A and B are shown apart, each in its own frame.
Chain A
Amino acid sequence: MLPEIGQFALALALAIAVVQAAVPLVGAARNNVMWMRSARYSAFAQLLMVAIAYGCLTSAFISNDFSVQYVAGNSNSLLPLYYRITAVWGGHEGSLLLWVLMLAGWGVAVAVFSRHLPLDMSARVLGVLGLVSVGFLSFMIFTSNPFVRLFPVPMEGHDLNPMLQDPGMIYHPPLLYMGYVGFSVAFAFAIAALLSGRLDATWARWSRPWTTLAWVSLTCGIGLGSWWAYYELGWGGWWFWDPVENASFMPWLTGTALIHSLAVTEKRGTFRSWTVLLAIITFGLTLLGAFLVRSGVITSVHAFATDPERGVFILAFFAVTIGLSLALYAWRAPSVGLGGGFGAWSRETLLLVNNVLLVVAAAVVLLGTVYPLAMDALGAGKISVGPPYFDSVFAPLMLPLAALVAIGPLVRWKQDLPTRTWQQMRMTAIAALAAAAVWPLFYAHWSPYVSLALFTGLWIVLAIGLELRQRTGLRPASLARLRPSYVGMHAAHLGLALLVMGVAMVKAYEVERDVRLAPGESVEIAGYNFTFDGTYPLPGPNYMADRGTVHVTRGDDTIATLHPEKRTYASKRGMPMTKASLDRGLLRDLYVSLGDPLENGAWVIRVYYKPYIGWLWAGCIFMALGGLLAASDRRYRVRATEPAAVKGKVAMGRI
């Protein structure tokens, strides 16, 4: 019975989404207050319906209702309860339902927190969100219904893919989707602004916290995914330039550009039409991501089973949405105007370069991701683009960007002098350069590239210190009075610095060895001694494991005892699964995983030394915290109707 209720709720949600899209948009065009007000209620009703559907699917998982095809394909009665709950988003249909739930949730959040917006603006934003919902809900109902029944009912479910049976799986997809879907809100604000012709600093201020929150979620989602891949997949890699990783990374890059461009639009009223275009592009890239993941055109860890119909639907949805948005843009943008002027050396210029670099980086990733698909579609043969392509193209784009992050915040808006900037920054530059030259000497070899990356990272850190000193004299009272958005910016930049340094160090000095070890044998890498003590069997709830014991020592010190596992999942016809074991540290991780069993209790064992890898996740956390701080700034919640604030801002924007 419950699956039918869920099915019905989904259909109702689609009907409500159509109403949410049509009525407020028409109402805004005709200035009908009642129609515009209806947007909020539709948003609430839509969320309620989608939540009911989601609850029904979850309850089917909890009660092991294998008459539902999706449950039978992704669950098993031996699966622990918490994985049965997370298995809801373990496959294509359920993850799409989660996606729609997030979308409806963002809609309600906008309805609740946008009371200070003019009615026509909030009505249009919610209307556009309704349109996006219509697209995704019909995609789900017509091509990927999670409530399809199965007859005859199987006795047992097929089980969740063992790779997804991990705590990381609980957080990674919801956060990632929250980020993906959040950019729909930025898109809705952009389209609403184009429709109303109100593309000014005020609009940017309304849109900023939403865009930042979406970016924070996407940052967390990508970071968690990378962390999960690192310890779960047993390869010890943290980024593979896999098409699906790229699919989430492209909107992150343009989203980062969008955050910065919105800052310029808010503070200075410039970059307006560019900002709108970026919002459209970012949303387009999230749709493209959905297409890549769900159409089965790519071979990947993440790709869901193939169904051409789905690919065609999303591609059509993508073409219509982006085509219409760009047409609207082409029609409205020329009337927007250019906004305030700025000098050749000013913060605007540097942010412009930041935007160009980020967008070029996104384009580079897009080329590498889509080119093989295009070649295949054109019948030009199968090719793939190797990770070295991305590595070698990405570093030269990111290092100048990191240097900009150090310089930018110290350069004035509108007009500054390069000589003034140089005088301010030369001490920090020299100090960073000296430290960066010496730091790698403590490691295996010295390399100019590592030093260069470390230099940009250290320079960012020192420049933040310099800026804080100039502004507050480092007095605690003044530091405490700093605006959250300002502190957030520096926190996020500090995160980038950690990330850059971490990537440089781990890429240059990691040691990866696959060795054959019999019980009692040992291997030494990077000064650490790994002694293998053999394996013993260990049963789990729905698997059997061989659990290994590896003692790690350095000189006379005992560092850690690691227990990597090789699990076999009976429900998946003996599908094996590698569970790595790590000793984490501030300056390095030690990583051990079991490969294949050999004769006489010997195993092929993977032993890794990963210096500074923790800095990657720390960097992501700082970036996300910075974004949260920035979005929490009080000025975003000031009522638009307060005359002084608005006039001041608008006037500034029109300089």
Chain B
Amino acid sequence: MTPRKRRLMFVAGALAALGVATTLVLNAFEDNLVFYYTPSELQSGKAPASRSVRIGGLVEAGSLQRESGSTLVHFRVTDTAVSLPVTYEGILPDLFREGQGVVAEGRLGNDGTFQARQVLAKHDENYKAVEVTEALERAKPRAATLSN
């Protein structure tokens, strides 16, 4: 086989693999992009109901309730302007605390409750998820008008 032909084969092979991979990637990518919203944005209906989304904020103090006899928990996530009710079934992360930052992934139910599939808390006391900081920042102007 001549070098020219071989090079052509290399390019063709690479392009074919790239084509297949691109198709796979774009299909999977499309389905698995998780967008991030603040509780305020979620409540004003900005988030698509059909997709899984992430929310970030603080766990409202005193809002954590455990349903007796099951592993279901209820709490509220707030960005200081809007507080959103969240339900989650399972074990909360070790660093989940009232008054602390939290990120939850799930869907907004028809009753306005956010059904979390996954709850993430910070990994270290010095550390605050970027999403949480941003949610609080974004809600600041609104919270200010509410308190006036």
Contact = CB atoms under 8 A, between A and B. Distances in A.
Contacts of B125: 572-573, 575
A363 B90 contact: no
Given A516-B70, A575-B94, A388 B1 contact: no
A598 B34 CA distance: 33
Interface string A326-366: 00000000000010011110000000110011001001100
Nearest to A356: B17
A382 B36 CA distance: 5
Contacts of B6: 338, 341-342
A635 B52 CA distance: 56
A516 B69 contact: yes
Interface centre among B54, B90, B91, B127 (most CB of A within 10 A): B91
B110 interface: no
**Interface of A: prevailing SS:** mixed
A606 B93 CA distance: 12
A386 B32 contact: yes
A577 B28 contact: no
A327 to B, nearest CB: 23
Given A161-B124, A393-B28, A604-B91, A599 B68 contact: yes
Contacts, number: 119
B95 A392 contact: no
Contacts of B69: 516
A238 B56 CA distance: 25
B31 A389 contact: yes
A596 B91 contact: yes
Contact of A397 (B21, B31, B32, B71): B21
B94 A385 contact: no
Interface of A: 161, 163, 234, 299-301, 303, 305, 338, 341-344, 352-353, 356-357, 360, 363-364, 367-368, 371, 381-389, 392-393, 396-397, 514-516, 572-573, 575-578, 595-596, 598-599, 604, 606
28 contacts: A161-B123, A161-B124, A163-B123, A303-B127, A338-B6, A341-B2, A341-B6, A342-B1, A343-B1, A353-B13, A356-B13, A356-B14, A357-B17, A360-B18, A382-B131, A383-B35, A383-B36, A384-B33, A384-B36, A389-B31, A393-B24, A393-B28, A396-B24, A514-B90, A516-B70, A595-B71, A596-B92, A604-B90
Interface of B: 1-3, 6-7, 9-10, 13-14, 17-18, 20-21, 24-25, 27-29, 31-36, 52, 54, 66, 68-71, 89-92, 94-95, 103, 123-127, 129-131, 134
